[in-house]
Amino acid sequence: MGNKAEYQIASFVNEGILEIVVKGKLITSAIEELENKVVDIIKAKGAKKVLVDSRAINATNSIIENYIAVRRPIPTGLKVNVAFVGGPENMDNAFFLEVTALNAGLPLKCFTDMDVAREWLKSMS
Protein backbone atom coordinates (compact mmCIF):
# COMPACT_ATOMS: atom_id res chain seq x y z
CA MET A 1 0.00 0.00 0.00
CA GLY A 2 2.88 2.41 0.61
CA ASN A 3 2.36 5.98 1.72
CA LYS A 4 -0.79 6.56 -0.31
CA ALA A 5 -4.44 6.87 0.69
CA GLU A 6 -6.43 3.92 -0.58
CA TYR A 7 -9.92 4.24 0.79
CA GLN A 8 -13.44 3.63 -0.45
CA ILE A 9 -16.66 5.39 0.49
CA ALA A 10 -20.12 3.86 0.29
CA SER A 11 -23.38 5.53 1.33
CA PHE A 12 -27.01 4.54 1.73
CA VAL A 13 -30.10 5.72 3.60
CA ASN A 14 -31.38 3.49 6.40
CA GLU A 15 -34.54 4.51 8.28
CA GLY A 16 -34.02 8.20 7.47
CA ILE A 17 -30.34 8.16 8.44
CA LEU A 18 -27.61 8.65 5.86
CA GLU A 19 -24.99 6.01 6.58
CA ILE A 20 -21.52 6.56 5.16
CA VAL A 21 -19.05 3.69 5.34
CA VAL A 22 -15.35 4.39 4.89
CA LYS A 23 -12.91 1.50 4.37
CA GLY A 24 -9.24 1.18 3.54
CA LYS A 25 -6.15 3.22 4.34
CA LEU A 26 -6.26 6.93 5.14
CA ILE A 27 -3.20 9.13 5.44
CA THR A 28 -3.03 12.63 6.89
CA SER A 29 -2.69 14.38 3.52
CA ALA A 30 -5.97 12.82 2.33
CA ILE A 31 -8.15 13.77 5.33
CA GLU A 32 -9.45 17.02 3.83
CA GLU A 33 -10.21 15.28 0.53
CA LEU A 34 -12.21 12.60 2.37
CA GLU A 35 -14.08 15.24 4.39
CA ASN A 36 -15.00 17.09 1.18
CA LYS A 37 -16.34 13.88 -0.37
CA VAL A 38 -18.41 13.18 2.75
CA VAL A 39 -19.83 16.73 2.71
CA ASP A 40 -20.70 16.34 -0.98
CA ILE A 41 -22.59 13.12 -0.21
CA ILE A 42 -24.46 14.78 2.68
CA LYS A 43 -25.45 17.74 0.49
CA ALA A 44 -26.51 15.53 -2.42
CA LYS A 45 -28.76 13.45 -0.16
CA GLY A 46 -30.06 16.45 1.82
CA ALA A 47 -29.35 14.53 5.03
CA LYS A 48 -29.92 15.90 8.52
CA LYS A 49 -28.82 12.77 10.38
CA VAL A 50 -25.54 11.14 9.39
CA LEU A 51 -23.83 8.03 10.67
CA VAL A 52 -20.17 7.66 9.66
CA ASP A 53 -18.85 4.11 10.05
CA SER A 54 -15.06 4.21 10.19
CA ARG A 55 -14.50 0.83 11.83
CA ALA A 56 -12.80 -0.54 8.70
CA ILE A 57 -10.46 2.39 8.11
CA ASN A 58 -6.77 2.24 8.88
CA ALA A 59 -5.72 5.73 9.93
CA THR A 60 -2.96 7.03 12.14
CA ASN A 61 -4.14 10.56 12.88
CA SER A 62 -2.76 12.38 15.87
CA ILE A 63 -4.99 14.31 18.27
CA ILE A 64 -3.74 17.54 16.65
CA GLU A 65 -4.72 16.31 13.16
CA ASN A 66 -8.16 15.35 14.48
CA TYR A 67 -8.51 18.79 16.06
CA ILE A 68 -7.65 20.52 12.79
CA ALA A 69 -10.08 18.27 10.90
CA VAL A 70 -13.11 19.05 13.09
CA ARG A 71 -12.25 22.76 13.37
CA ARG A 72 -12.43 23.34 9.61
CA PRO A 73 -15.31 25.63 8.76
CA ILE A 74 -18.63 23.83 8.33
CA PRO A 75 -20.08 24.55 4.88
CA THR A 76 -22.83 27.15 4.97
CA GLY A 77 -26.27 25.67 5.38
CA LEU A 78 -25.00 22.26 6.47
CA LYS A 79 -26.92 21.49 9.65
CA VAL A 80 -26.55 17.84 10.52
CA ASN A 81 -26.23 15.60 13.54
CA VAL A 82 -23.33 13.20 13.14
CA ALA A 83 -22.76 9.87 14.84
CA PHE A 84 -19.20 8.67 14.35
CA VAL A 85 -18.68 4.93 14.82
CA GLY A 86 -15.18 3.58 15.29
CA GLY A 87 -13.50 0.62 16.88
CA PRO A 88 -12.67 0.73 20.60
CA GLU A 89 -9.02 1.38 19.70
CA ASN A 90 -10.10 4.64 18.02
CA MET A 91 -12.09 6.00 20.94
CA ASP A 92 -9.19 7.40 22.96
CA ASN A 93 -9.90 10.87 21.59
CA ALA A 94 -13.70 10.53 21.38
CA PHE A 95 -14.55 13.05 24.11
CA PHE A 96 -12.04 15.52 22.69
CA LEU A 97 -13.54 15.17 19.20
CA GLU A 98 -17.10 15.58 20.49
CA VAL A 99 -16.30 18.77 22.42
CA THR A 100 -14.19 20.25 19.62
CA ALA A 101 -16.87 19.51 17.00
CA LEU A 102 -19.62 20.95 19.21
CA ASN A 103 -17.57 24.12 19.75
CA ALA A 104 -17.25 24.37 15.96
CA GLY A 105 -21.04 24.10 15.60
CA LEU A 106 -21.28 20.44 14.59
CA PRO A 107 -23.27 18.11 16.84
CA LEU A 108 -21.10 14.99 16.78
CA LYS A 109 -21.06 12.01 19.10
CA CYS A 110 -18.68 9.04 18.99
CA PHE A 111 -19.76 5.43 19.41
CA THR A 112 -18.41 1.90 19.10
CA ASP A 113 -21.86 0.33 18.58
CA MET A 114 -23.84 0.97 15.38
CA ASP A 115 -27.24 0.35 17.00
CA VAL A 116 -26.56 2.79 19.83
CA ALA A 117 -25.38 5.38 17.29
CA ARG A 118 -28.59 4.94 15.26
CA GLU A 119 -30.74 5.29 18.39
CA TRP A 120 -28.95 8.52 19.32
CA LEU A 121 -29.54 9.93 15.83
CA LYS A 122 -33.20 8.91 15.89
CA SER A 123 -33.59 10.76 19.20
CA MET A 124 -32.25 14.01 17.70
CA SER A 125 -34.86 16.45 16.43
Instruction: State the CB neighbour count (10 A cutoff) for residue 8.
Output: 10
CA angle 56, 11, 65 (to 5 degrees): 50
- Which regions of the chain are under pLDDT 70? 1-3, 5, 59-77
How much is the pLDDT for 85?
92
How much is the pLDDT for 72?
61
How much is the pLDDT for 106?
79
How much is the pLDDT for 49?
96
User: Is the pTM higher than 0.75?
Assistant: yes
How much is the pLDDT for 95?
81
How much is the pLDDT for 67?
56
CATH topology assigned to domain 6-123: Transcription Regulator spoIIAA (3.30.750)
Domain boundaries, the chain: 6-123
How much is the pLDDT for 52?
92
How much is the pLDDT for 94?
80
